Amino acid sequence: MNHGSFRDRTTADLRAAGLSAVDMVERALAAIDECDPVLNAFVTVDAEGALAAARQADAERAAGHVRGPLHGIPVAVKDMIAVRGLPHTLGSAHFATQVSTQDAECVARLRAAGAVVVGTTTTHEFAYGPTGDVSATGPSRNPHDVTRMSGGSSGGSAVAVAAGLVPLALGTDTGGSVRIPAALCGVVGLKPGYGTVPTAGVFPLSTTLDHVGVLANSAADCALVHHVLAGRPAPTASTHRPVRVGWVRPDALFDTDPAVADLARAAVAGPDVVLGPAEFPEATATHLRELFATIQNSEVFAVHADRVAEHPELFQPEVLDRLRAAENVLGWQYVRALADRDRQRAEVDRLFGGHDLLALPTTPVTTQPLGARQVEINGTTRGVRAALLSLTSVWNVLGLPAVSVPAGQLAGLPVGLQLVARPGQEDLVCAVADQLRRPSAPPSGTSTERQTR
Amino acid sequence: MNHGSFRDRTTADLRAAGLSAVDMVERALAAIDECDPVLNAFVTVDAEGALAAARQADAERAAGHVRGPLHGIPVAVKDMIAVRGLPHTLGSAHFATQVSTQDAECVARLRAAGAVVVGTTTTHEFAYGPTGDVSATGPSRNPHDVTRMSGGSSGGSAVAVAAGLVPLALGTDTGGSVRIPAALCGVVGLKPGYGTVPTAGVFPLSTTLDHVGVLANSAADCALVHHVLAGRPAPTASTHRPVRVGWVRPDALFDTDPAVADLARAAVAGPDVVLGPAEFPEATATHLRELFATIQNSEVFAVHADRVAEHPELFQPEVLDRLRAAENVLGWQYVRALADRDRQRAEVDRLFGGHDLLALPTTPVTTQPLGARQVEINGTTRGVRAALLSLTSVWNVLGLPAVSVPAGQLAGLPVGLQLVARPGQEDLVCAVADQLRRPSAPPSGTSTERQTR
C-alpha cells in the first residue's frame, strides 16, 4: 500500500523543507483519505478544524509569531486523550457518543507549542490490551502487513506515524502501550518517567502506572515533544560520552525469539556506545510483573466497576473477561504491592549497576496476525498478550524513561530495541537512541514522495 | 487511689516550680511504683536510663545549656514507638522479646528538645482497638475507676498523664487512639494534621491514617510538644478572635448519650468563642466511616498477613478476628476509597462552612467496664468499639488536626470535648482548647501533692 508524505520524516526534515502548515495538513488529510480506510489508524479526522488551525499558524508565522517548536506540525492524538470538540470514544461502546468539552492538558501544551491536531487515533478498548485489535472502533492494522496487529493499546498512533499519515502522535503507556505498537510498526516510541507529563484529561487505565508518551520518526522528535508535554525547555545537547549500555538478556524476562534478540542487540552500536552485559535477575523480573498485575488489576477495576455492574454487554468480551478477573485482587495485596514498588524504585540504581542505560528488545516477537492469542516462541506456546507486555511493563512499575527504536526487520516485519534510563534521563535515552537511528527498510510500496536522507 | 506529682500540672507549672530534672524523674518513678501495679500504664520503666538522662540534663542546665522547651521533663512513650534500648512489644506476644535498637524519629526529637524518657506505655495489641483492654501486656486501667477501660489504643499514655505519673506522653492515633483515651481518662489529647510528624520508627497500624500525637494536662502543652515533634519553631501567640466554632450534632455521626453531648457543648464557652450550629450531613459521616473501614482494613492486613498465616495463635483472639475480617476488602475498593478520600479532603472547607473550628464530643459515652463489648445508648444496644471510634475516625480520614479536652464528668467519669481544625491549624485548635480549659474534678483520693492553681 502507499504511504503518506511523512513517512520517516522528522520535524527537522519538515522545517528544512519549508512546508507551510496548510501544506502539511493537506498532505496529512490526503494520506489519511488514501490509506486509512484500510489501516483504521484514525477514529476521527478533523479536516475542518485542522485546516483552520493550519491557516492560523501560517498567518501567525507570516506576522512573525512562531508559537514554539511544533509550529504548524500535524499531530494525531490517541482516543484516550481528550481533544476539545472531538469524539472521545476510548475505543468503547460505553462512550460511543461522548464528545470532549476540553483539551487534555497535554493537548493544550501541544497546541501552545504550535501543533495542529488532525484527529484522534484508534485505541484498544479503554487502552486495556497490547494487541490493538479489540476496539469498538475496529482494529488498527499494521502497515507492514495489514492482516497483522498494530500492537496496542496506542495502535492507531503508531500506525499513523508508521504509514506517514502524520509525523507525530500522542499515545499512553501503562504496560508498554506506546513502545509495543512503536516496535511492531517500526517507529520510535517514548514512555517518559512517571509523573513527568500531566494526565489531566487522559482517561485512566491504571492511575499509578499511566504515562503519556510520544510516537515519532526519530527519538530526537520524541524528546522534543516530550519537553513540550512536560512543560520544560528543550535541553541543550550535552550527552556525556561514552555511554555505557547494559544488555539485559530478554530470556531473563520472557521466552524471546533469538532472531529478535540478535537484531535488537546488533542495533546497540555506535562510536560512543559501550555495550556490556547487565545483571537482571529473573526473580526481579517475575516480582515486578506480579506487582504490575496486582496494581493494574486493582486500579483498572476501580475505574470500571460501575460499568461492569450496570452494562457489561457494552464491553468487548475479551476486555470484560479481563476486568472480571481483575476484580478479585485483595486490598492488602494492593497495599503491599505499592510498598514493594516503592522499595524496588529505591533500589533501581543497583539494577543499572555501572551502566547508564539498559537495552533489550521491546517485544519478544514481531507482530502477530489480528486476533491471534497464542504464539509459539522457541517451541513453547505462550499467550500473545503476556508476550507483548513481557519486556515493557516492568519499566512502568519502576516508572523509568524508556524508548523503543526500530532495529531492523525479520521477514519484512519490524523489530524494536528498547533503551531504558534512570529517572530524569529522558534526554539521555533519546539522544542515544537517536544516534542508533538508521533508516529501516520501508514497507513495500513506499510512496514516491518519500525523501531519502 | 493516690496520684502522682504531675496530676493536672503543665510544663509551665513545672518550670515555675523550678524542679530539677532528677527531682521530676524521681517523682515520676515514685508515682509509678505506687500506682502502676494497679493502673498498668507502663510496660517498661527505665529508672536507670531516666535518672542518668536527668542527671545529664541538670548538669547541662548548670553549665548554662538548655536543650529546648522540654529540658528535663519526664515523658512516657507508647509501646508502638521505638525507644532505643527498651522493649518494643507493641502489646503483642509476637514481639514479646523485641528490643528497639534505635529511637523513632519523634523520640529523637523529644530528646533533642530536652525530654527525659521514663518508659513505654501499654497499647492495645498492635494499636488495633479503641478500648485499651486487649494487650499481651495486660489492660491499662482508668484511674477514675480501675474496673473500667482506659480507652485506647494509647491507653497507657492517657492513664500515665491522668494519674499524674508523668506530665506528657506520646501516643498514636489512627482512628482516635490518642483522643479516645484522653477523653475517657480526662486529659488533653492532640492528633495533629496528617503527615506533620514523621512516623519513622513507629510501628504501622494503617499507614495512611496513622498520626503521632500527644497526651498532656493542657492543650498548650500539646501544642508545645507538637512543635517539637513536627520540627517547627513554637508559634508566637496570634489567635485571631473571635473564633467561630461550629457545633456538630453528634447524633449525625452516632447515637450519643445526651448528657455527654450537653456537657461537651457547654464546655465550648469563652469570651472569644462564638458557637453556632454546623452542617454535618449524616451521609457524609457514613461515607467517611466507610472509607475509614476500607482503608484501614486493607492497610492493617497488609502489615500482618504473614503473622496471620504463620502464627495466628500469638494474636489476642479479638485482634485476630478483626484481622481476618479485614483481609477480604478488594483492591479496587481500596483504590476507590483513596480517591474518594482525596475528594473529601479537597472539599473540607465546605464542611467547615463559616466556622474556624468544629466541635463535638470525643466519644458518645463515658468509659465502659473492662472487657465490655456492648453498650446501650439511648435505648439501643451498640458495639463499644464502633461507639468509641464513631466521633473521631472521620477526622483521621480527612487528616485534620483535632484535640480532645476534658469537659467535666458524669457520675465521676470524664467527658471529652473534641475540637477540629482545618489543615495546618494545630496552633489555633490548641489555643482555643486551652482557653476552654478548666480544672476537671479530680479522681477520688487525689494525692496530697496536687497543687491548686
ipTM field: 0.90
Residue B128, min C-alpha distance to chain A (Å): 16
Give me B93's grid cell: 506476644
Kindly list the structural domains of chain B, giving each domain's residue range(s) and its CATH number in brackets, ordered by start.
11-279+349-435 (3.90.1300.10)
The pLDDT-based confidence of B448 (bands split at 50, 70, 90) is: very low
HSE (side-chain half, CA atoms, 13 Å) at A390: 24
Question: Residue A1 above 80 pLDDT?
Answer: no
Backbone angles phi, psi at A425, to 5 degrees: -105, 35
Q: Which of A301, A327, A335 has its CB closest to that of B298? A: A335
Q: What is the DSSP letter of A186?
A: T
Q: What is the pLDDT of residue B237?
A: 57
pLDDT in tens, A315-363: 999 999 999 999 999 999 999 999 999 999 999 999 999 999 999 999 9
pLDDT in tens, B272-301: 899 999 999 999 999 999 999 999 999 999
Give me B60's grid cell: 547541662
Distance CA B343, CA B287 (A): 12
Distance CA A250, CA A364 (A): 8
Three-state DSSP class for residue B386: helix
Q: What is the pLDDT of residue A272?
A: 86
Nearest residue on chain B to A300, alpha-carbon basis: B332
The pLDDT-based confidence of B436 (bands split at 50, 70, 90) is: confident
Residue B153: cis peptide before it, omega within 30 degrees of 0: yes
Q: What is the pLDDT of residue A179?
A: 98
Q: How distant is the alpha carbon of residue B149 from its chain centre?
A: 14
CB distance A331–B297 less than 8 Å? yes
**What's the whole-number mean pLDDT along residues A102-128?**
98
**What's the whole-number mean pLDDT along residues A230-252?**
84
**What's the whole-number mean pLDDT along residues B152-173?**
98
Q: What is the pLDDT of residue B239?
A: 58
pLDDT in tens, B18-48: 999 999 999 999 999 999 999 999 999 999 9
Range of weakest confidence among B112-121, B235-244, B330-339: B235-244
H helix count then E strand count, chain B: 15, 15
Q: Is B191 a catalytic residue?
A: no
Residue corresponding to grid cell 523503543: A404
Residue corresponding to grid cell 514523621: B198
Q: What is the DSSP letter of B413?
A: E
Chains A, B: CB pairs < 8 Å: 73
pLDDT in tens, A382-436: 999 999 999 999 999 999 999 999 999 999 999 999 999 999 999 999 999 998 8
Nearest residue on chain B to A334, alpha-carbon basis: B331
Are A118 and A74 spatial neighbours (Cβ–Cβ below 8 Å)?
Answer: yes
The pLDDT-based confidence of B5 (bands split at 50, 70, 90) is: confident
Are A293 and A386 spatial neighbours (Cβ–Cβ below 8 Å)?
Answer: no
Mean pLDDT, chain B, integer? 94
Q: Which of A301, A332, A334 has its CB closest to that of B327? A: A332
Nearest residue on chain B to A295, alpha-carbon basis: B331
Q: How distant is the alpha carbon of residue B29 from its chain centre?
A: 22
H helix count then E strand count, chain A: 15, 15
Three-state DSSP class for residue B350: helix
Mean pLDDT, chain A, integer? 94
Q: What is the pLDDT of residue A241?
A: 75
Q: What is the pLDDT of residue A233?
A: 77
Distance CA A232, CA A247 (A): 30
- Which chain A residues are Cβ-neighbours of B336 within 8 angstroms? 302, 305
Distance CA A143, CA A127 (A): 20
User: What percent of chain A is predicted at pLDDT more than 70?
Assistant: 94
Q: What is the pLDDT of residue B272?
A: 86
CB distance B333–A302 less than 8 Å? yes
Q: What is the pLDDT of residue B2?
A: 47
CB distance A297–B331 less than 8 Å? yes
Q: Which residues on neighbouring strands pair with residue A279, listed in sequence order?
A: none
Nearest residue on chain B to A324, alpha-carbon basis: B332
pLDDT in tens, B227-270: 999 998 776 656 567 999 999 999 999 999 999 999 999 999 98
The pLDDT-based confidence of A270 (bands split at 50, 70, 90) is: confident
The pLDDT-based confidence of A236 (bands split at 50, 70, 90) is: low
- Which chain A residues are Cβ-neighbours of B333 within 8 angstroms? 302, 331
Q: What is the pLDDT of residue B400?
A: 98
Q: Which amino acid is at B250?
A: P
Helix residue ranges per DSSP H, A312-392: 317-326, 331-346, 348-352, 384-389
Distance CA B382, CA B369 (A): 15
Q: Which of B207, B298, B339 has its CB closest to that of A331? A: B298
**Which of B292, B335, B343 is the mutation pick for testing A, counting most A CBs within 10 A?**
B335
Q: Which residues from B are below 8 Å from A when comparing CB atoms?
A: 207, 294, 297-302, 305, 326-336, 339
- Which chain B residues are Cβ-neighbours of A323 within 8 angstroms? none
- Which chain B residues are Cβ-neighbours of A209 within 8 angstroms? none
Q: Which residues from A are below 8 Å from B when comparing CB atoms?
A: 207, 294, 297-302, 305, 326-336, 339
What is the longest distance spanned by two Cα atoms in chain B? 63
**What's the whole-number mean pLDDT along residues B214-220?**
97
Are A197 and A212 spatial neighbours (Cβ–Cβ below 8 Å)?
Answer: yes
**What's the whole-number mean pLDDT along residues B351-374?**
97
- In which element (H, E) is residue B160 found? helix B155-162
Question: Residue A292 above 90 pLDDT?
Answer: yes
Distance CA B409, CA A343 (A): 49
Q: Is B177 a catalytic residue?
A: yes
Question: Residue B439 above 50 pLDDT?
Answer: no
Q: What is the pLDDT of residue B241?
A: 75
Q: What is the pLDDT of residue A445?
A: 40
- In which element (H, E) is residue A142 found? strand A141-142
Q: What is the pLDDT of residue B452?
A: 35
- Which chain A residues are Cβ-neighbours of B335 within 8 angstroms? 207, 298-299, 301-302, 334
Range of weakest confidence among A225-234, A287-296, B181-190: A225-234
pLDDT in tens, B81-112: 999 999 999 999 999 999 999 999 999 999 99
Contacts of A259 (CB under 8 A, 6+ apart): A410
Backbone angles phi, psi at A383, to 5 degrees: -70, 140
Residue A289, min C-alpha distance to chain B (Å): 17
Q: What is the DSSP letter of B365?
A: S
CB distance A302–B335 less than 8 Å? yes
Entry field: residues in chain B = 453
The pLDDT-based confidence of A239 (bands split at 50, 70, 90) is: low
Question: Residue A6 above 50 pLDDT?
Answer: yes
Q: What is the pLDDT of residue A235?
A: 67
**Which of B322, B330, B342, B343 is the mutation pick for testing A, counting most A CBs within 10 A?**
B330
Q: Which residues on neighbouring strands pair with residue A382, listed in sequence order?
A: A375
Distance CA B197, CA B182 (A): 19
Q: What is the pLDDT of residue B80?
A: 98
Are A153 and A182 spatial neighbours (Cβ–Cβ below 8 Å)?
Answer: no
The pLDDT-based confidence of B6 (bands split at 50, 70, 90) is: very high
Range of weakest confidence among A5-14, A55-64, B360-369, B444-453: B444-453
Give me A399's grid cell: 516508572
CB distance B331–A294 less than 8 Å? yes
Are B82 and B100 spatial neighbours (Cβ–Cβ below 8 Å)?
Answer: yes
Distance CA A279, CA A287 (A): 15
The pLDDT-based confidence of B450 (bands split at 50, 70, 90) is: very low
